[in-house]
Amino acid sequence: MRKILSNKPVISWAMYDWANSAFATTVMAGFFPIFFKQYWSQDIDAAESTLFLGAANSTASLVLALIAPLLGSLADRGGYKKEILFLTTGIGVLSTLALFFIPEGYWPLAALTYAIAAFGFMASMIPYDSLLIDVTQGKRMDRVSGLGFGLGYLGGGLLFVLNVLWYLQPQWFGIPDGATAVRLSFLSVSIWWVLFSIPLFLNVRERREQEIPLSSSLIRDSWHDVFKTLREITAHKEILLFLLAYFFYIEGVNTTVKMAVDYGLSLGFDSANLITALLIVQFVAFPFAILFGWIGERFGPRNGLYLGISIYIIMAMLAYRMTEVWQFYWMAVAIGMVQGGVQSLSRSLYAAKIPPERAAQFFGFFNMLGKFSAVLGPILVGISVQLSGTPRATSLVLLVFFVCGLILLWMSSRHAGKTPSH
């Protein structure tokens, strides 16, 4: 680990997780669901606002899923990983900044702006994930990937603490009220995201054979690469089954992140308690994401995933009967222990199986499936809550996804050892 921490490109790469995780924490998981319900859409039914929130998340994910493979192919063929990362970061940052200016009651504009910001955030992960192969190789990928997620949870958590203090005690900071504090939090996320992205753009060198000017022929050739990569994936059962497994279990992870606060509000928990639970997740996840990197290196990333997904299954079953805030806190501890580990080991396991010179193309499909799952998860939660009349239906939806993911992950292990042709 000492060698990793002294490696400037590795640390600079991992700092991007520190930078953009502020959006995932403060905006996506924390304040936007609360603010959307209580400020922008306070005059509409709670179940209806849950559906609109799910639709905003799903729309951003669907648009990204449709273009993710092409973005990955352009990044590889044209040598544009860092350029695409710069563009998508800009989209996310500017849209997050725009949330600061949206007036009370303008929920359609808030939902649209949030969807664009979420698109920028998620799209940036395609070139960012693929740059893992440019900064490290071999078994160290488990630890480096875990370091990235660990720093992401720590950085996102630190800013979130400050944002929460603004919200709970605005008078300490000369802020007039809680609503202004939340709007200022969106502003702070955009600044944080820009500031801590700089080391990656300065210190990480993309390995590329050549840089091809952007043109219609490059886009056409990139589309051809998309279908070539798709044929290779379908021809290798281990990768195909792993991606299907990832589709299901990461849906459970992402939906838990995006809808947990909404679920707690629907059960009648106070928003301050829910924010406290989110902080617990952040700071527990920091050391455990790094620990899971060691578990992946020592026992294999697949075994680490078995452990993490199994704990999610247990939590989904317990969530169905949850009635007290203290139960929500303990669940936050358990989820914090495995959330970063499941995410980081998925990334490093997949990176180890794909051709390094076409990493962005393969990560395009990796992120495409992750985002298609993110389309399905929040919208299914919204529909299931409306049809059943109880927010507890959320936990049953999550349980199905985690169980399916675990089974498919085990099936992929039966075909381990084969990799795509280079």
CATH code (residue 374): 1.20.1250.20
338 assigned to some structural domain: yes
80 assigned to some structural domain: yes
User: CA–CA separation, 329 vs 160, rounded Å?
Assistant: 17
Are 189 and 159 spatial neighbours (Cβ–Cβ below 8 Å)? yes
Q: For the stretch 218-256, what's the b/e string if a residue is b when 16 or more beta carbons lie within 10 angstroms of its beta carbon?
A: beebbeebbeebeebbeebebbbbbbbbbbbbbbbbbbb
359 assigned to some structural domain: yes
Are 350 and 297 spatial neighbours (Cβ–Cβ below 8 Å)? no
Write out pLDDT tens, residues 237-281. Answer: 888 899 999 988 988 887 777 666 666 766 777 777 777 887 888
Q: What is the mean pLDDT of the chain?
A: 82
86 assigned to some structural domain: yes
7 assigned to some structural domain: yes
Write out pLDDT tens, residues 224-246. Answer: 777 788 888 888 888 889 999 99
pLDDT level of residue 422 (50, 70, 90 thresholds): very low
User: CA–CA separation, 285 vs 305, rounded Å?
Assistant: 15
Q: Which of 56-65, 274-283, 335-344, 388-397 has the largest mean confidence?
A: 335-344
pTM of the model: 0.77
325 assigned to some structural domain: yes
What's the chain's Rg over C-alpha atoms?
20
pLDDT for 420: 47
192 assigned to some structural domain: yes
Write out pLDDT tens, residues 302-342. Answer: 999 999 999 999 988 887 777 777 877 888 888 888 888 89
Full residue range of the structural domain in which residue 45 is found: 2-202+217-413
- Report, as an integer, the average pLDDT of 120-129: 89
pLDDT for 99: 92
284 assigned to some structural domain: yes
User: CA–CA separation, 108 vs 376, rounded Å?
Assistant: 21
Please give the tally of structural domains in the chain: 1
